[in-house]
């Protein structure tokens, strides 16, 4: 059977702590990695099912919002609709990164992460989409607030907003989210360390504790 250097343990039971002490000093079979992380893996499974199901609901909701905008008489002719459209797109991108029930997590941590069936490429994809989607939807939410402030408090006309403000209301969310997303990709910032996401600056999963780079 495949053997790995010992992982860290995320549970707090005395039994797991004793197992961890033994694992830090010797090479162990892969079966033992599953055994010592059973509680943590079960917890991650429950959390994943809840979060992925919520992500699917969020995707459906944002898709419905886009459908309603495109079916409305104004469609995308108003600033408000265009901002809401961008915010919904960002939410869909973000939600899709969590809607696959951990299937895109690297398979080398499947002893800890339930349903991990992917590799580093799929980890890069889900990390990139989660960062881009989260930033885009959040910044578009800020754009919607700024738009509302300009309308309600400062009584700005739509023509003024479209010419003077709207390029920034779209440009900042799109450009900033892509810049951060590609920056992390260029610096190898999408890694899984035994959790349910791929946003970590270093690759250091539990089974790599005690192992130097290159071993």
What pTM was computed for the model?
Answer: 0.80
Conformation bin of residue 87: beta by default, left when phi > 0, alpha when psi is -120 to 50: alpha
Res 204: pLDDT = 66
Contacts of 197 (CB under 8 A, 6+ apart): 126, 127, 130
The tens-digit pLDDT sequence of the chain (215 residues) is 444 444 443 434 444 544 544 544 455 566 666 666 778 888 889 999 999 999 999 999 999 999 999 999 999 999 999 999 999 999 999 999 999 999 999 888 888 888 999 999 999 999 999 999 999 999 999 999 999 999 999 999 999 999 999 999 999 999 999 999 999 999 999 988 777 788 887 776 666 655 555 45
d(CA 136, CA 88): 9
Q: Counting Cβ atoms within 10 Å, is residue 117 exposed (0-12), middle (13-18) or buried (19+)?
A: middle
């Amino acid at each position: 059977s495949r053997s790995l250097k010992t992982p860290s343990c995320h549970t707090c039971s005395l039994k797991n702590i004793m197992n961890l002490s033994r694992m830090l000093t010797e090479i162990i079979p892969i079966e033992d990695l599953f055994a010592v992380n059973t509680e943590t893996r079960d917890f991650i499974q429950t959390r994943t099912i809840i979060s992925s199901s919520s992500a699917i609901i969020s995707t459906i909701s944002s898709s419905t919002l886009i459908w309603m905008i495109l079916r409305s008489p104004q469609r995308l002719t108003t600033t408000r609709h265009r901002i809401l459209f961008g915010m919904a797109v960002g939410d869909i991108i973000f939600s899709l990164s969590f809607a696959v029930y951990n299937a895109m997590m690297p398979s080398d941590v499947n002893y800890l992460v339930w349903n991990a069936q992917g590799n580093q490429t799929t980890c890069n994809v889900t990390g990139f989409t989660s960062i881009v989607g989260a930033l885009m939807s959040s910044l578009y939410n800020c754009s919607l607030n700024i738009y509302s402030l300009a309308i309600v408090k400062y009584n700005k006309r739509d023509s003024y907003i479209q010419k003077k403000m709207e390029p920034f209301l779209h440009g900042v969310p799109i450009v900033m989210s892509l810049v951060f997303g590609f920056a992390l990709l260029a610096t190898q910032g999408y890694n899984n360390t035994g959790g349910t996401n791929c946003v970590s600056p270093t690759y250091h999963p539990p089974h790599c504790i005690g192992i130097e780079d290159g071993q």
